[in-house]
């Protein structure tokens, strides 16, 4: 993303809209350790996306959203 990383975008969104829940999609999940520890993201979907696991991952994130 030109001019801004995904974490920087997420930080800006959370500053303006703290109730928004975000899911990161990345090929570099290890780069998100600090953001995940800070609670910036609800979860992470790693690339390449395993389409056989994607529905279960999204279901888990949706269920978690309603439990939290």
CA angle 9, 13, 18 (to 5 degrees): 145
Quote the pLDDT of residue 1: 60
Q: Over its length of 68 residues, how does the chain's per-residue pLDDT go in tens digits?
A: 678 988 899 999 999 999 888 888 888 888 888 888 888 888 888 899 888 988 888 888 778 766 66
Q: Which residue has the tokens 């570099």?
A: 28
Quote the pLDDT of residue 68: 60
Q: DSSP letter at 23?
A: E
In the chain, domain spans? 6-67
Query: Are residues 43 and 64 in contact, defined by beta-carbon separation less than 8 angstroms?
Result: yes
Quote the pLDDT of residue 14: 92
């Amino acid at each position: 993303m030109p001019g801004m990383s995904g974490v920087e975008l997420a930080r800006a969104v959370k500053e303006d809209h703290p109730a928004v829940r975000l899911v990161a999609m990345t090929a570099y999940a290890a780069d998100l350790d600090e953001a995940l520890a800070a609670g910036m993201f609800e979860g992470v979907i790693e690339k390449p996306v395993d389409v056989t696991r994607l529905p279960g991952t999204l279901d888990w994130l949706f269920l978690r959203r309603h439990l939290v």
